Chain A
């Protein structure tokens, strides 16, 4: 590993600053990316990671500071220009064209052609070799829509490789991957690095960062707070730099659970209609669903809430059956769902944060159908304080908040509704360590107040630390329910991957 420090910098920023309105997103940041090295950038949401990534990838230009590509000062005015200089960004929200096949996506924008006509065979050849390099064994003509999230990510990386990117920037690449897919991705990172490609990795998952990165750069409030080599880095050191303080573990099981609040009786989802699910969550209890991608976690929650049609079975709240497929009725009876994809299903992004908070309780705030503005402001003040949303200014557009704070806003909407049953799908997806601990504390608090909480997460760590009981899901079927206190990672994995009983 020695000598890597002296490898030439392929990409560098010096003294980069970026300001959005009154908010300083980046403050004189220096960052060097070297060939054959994996650099991880970590930090809480709002620390400036994404802004730095966007500057490196040509999406944004810095207000101050210079950018160097291969040691020469350069201006990247667009993503296309960055691509031409060998820099590829694999975005957090995947950006493949779902209506096209893998090959078409891999050569998108650089389609091989003969006499102006698409040369599909040449495209397939290019795609096949790129897919082989990322170790994805699918034919080039596979429609992207038929691929899972993990495979799509690999297609994006294949696209970058095929464009001969020498720097690949991965923005939260593992946020929605299963464990096996994460392993494959990290192995690929190691391989790319071995071949001399520079990899920049943004992740909230510190164990992955510690496994994959040669160097770890920690950002907080737009500044570089420290740089650690793989040898000197440890989880505690990184967290301390990120947060600037110690993070306390969440206290669990403050109260003993009461009567059953939520019961799923023989519930069948459209994704797995052959399987009937029975689950019971009691008042004051937090039940976690652990399952791999494709196990039907999201489908189960959405069917219980009613945004998806069920294929049979009942959902009972405090013993009363809910009308099927009617989210409004579920919400009115005291059920809430915090969806996995907050941008699509949760937020009204261009609208003020305040309106996002009040959306589920408008009827309660209003008198005779008229909304008094001051009640809405009071609600927003209360929630912003209770959830410590930053910045606290709730007249801002929700789009201007970082991921963790956006998640708190969606959560706040349902806290305002004082739900009896709270369903959460990936409660901390794309959320940093500090905000994650805060969100967990909020969820525990709601349970302590008597709510029944049912959540699904792809992160075993999260399931084990937040839940009282854990239900393992495999292909739509509950393969076992364990007490969190005696649910070892291995036992859970075995249930999640178990063969179905004959």
Chain B
């Protein structure tokens, strides 16, 4: 929790600096967009975080986003499925992908890095093969389903209802509702349920967990399944938001944004710790950074990755320093007499 606060301060500082440096930042249009992107990436980051907390890593996020994002319009438009069936199929595919990867890790004893690296290549290739590398879109239809991502929820007192359709009014983008529901559910599960405690225990010390009678393999499996389902759901929202997906690059690098947000938000890659609140704030920080690079004119857009890389490094470094300071004062591992 303390970590989530630290990253929140960093988020506010970056947002404040950006607001000072660019007039475009604090506009209703920009803030709404920022919320939408934060929500979309936040969903992926919560998934990545769950896998990381269980002691794993999921590199396949971006490719699952691509697979879900291409298959949804393909099923609806080219194959003529009903929206319910198509959504169920895409989410079901997410579960299958997660169970497959989780089983390889849990029972096949393969390293998560390798399994999901292969997944990263495999699902991307699969998506491109199925769609014959053609851009998939909704052809202007399916507005009902698309409102899941493009919808706007007016805030009483804040949203100017007269100007609602225009860019000058702020409304909460629909994906924020999805993220809120997912984050609250994940936080409750991780903090207050047996499964959540098992997950953290397996991430912390799988051997001790096995000795404690915890079903380690099943916990691992479920963590990977949860991660992949969230990736698929996120991918679905992404395509519903944008309207079309190009199989060759849809979702490229998204796993890195997700992992970076989770790590910034306090997940240790060693497993066993992390908070959902921190992950969400981490995802927001990533998006504010990207936004700042676009808006602030003194920063050329093409250095985006360098800036993001540097900020993550600083964040992780600061965290490590704080941890060491706390250890020196609090006395842990090395200090035990």
Contacts and interface: CB of A to CB of B under 8 A. Distances in A.
Instruction: Tell me if B's interface is mostly helix, strand, loop or mixed.
Output: helix
Interface string A315-354: 0000000000001101110000101000011111111000
B138 to A, nearest CB: 39
A21 interface: yes
B213 A327 contact: yes
A362 B198 contact: yes
Nearest to B211: A345
Contacts of A100: none
Instruction: Tell me if A's interface is mostly helix, strand, loop or mixed.
Output: mixed
B206 to A, nearest CB: 10
A366 interface: yes
A254 to B, nearest CB: 29
Interface in B310-337: 329-337
B208 A346 contact: yes
B3 to A, nearest CB: 14
Interface string A358-369: 111011001001
Interface in A10-48: 19-21, 23, 25-26, 45-48
A348 B336 contact: no
B194 A400 contact: no
A313 B332 CA distance: 44
A19 B197 CA distance: 32
B290 interface: no
A401 B336 contact: yes
B205 A347 contact: yes
A263 B311 CA distance: 60
Contacts of A48: 337
A397 interface: yes
Contacts of B193: 366, 369-371
Interface residues of B, number: 30
A118 B15 CA distance: 54
Contact of B194 (A23, A305, A363): A363
B332 A348 contact: no
Given A328-B213, A332-B213, A370-B192, A345 B204 contact: no
A186 interface: no
B332 A399 contact: yes
Contacts of B212: 331, 359-360, 413
A355 interface: yes
A181 B239 CA distance: 68
B188 to A, nearest CB: 8
B272 interface: yes
Interface string A61-99: 000000000000000000000000000000000000000
Contacts of B332: 350, 397, 399-400
15 contacts: A20-B335, A21-B331, A25-B337, A26-B337, A46-B337, A60-B335, A346-B208, A347-B205, A350-B204, A350-B332, A359-B208, A366-B193, A399-B336, A400-B331, A400-B332
Interface of A: 19-21, 23, 25-26, 45-51, 54, 59-60, 222, 305, 307, 327-328, 330-332, 337, 339, 344-351, 355, 358-360, 362-363, 366, 369-371, 397, 399-402, 413
Q: Which 3 A-B pairs have the closest CB atoms?
A: A20-B331, A331-B213, A20-B335
Given A344-B208, A345-B211, 5 more contacts: A20-B331, A26-B337, A344-B207, A362-B197, A371-B192
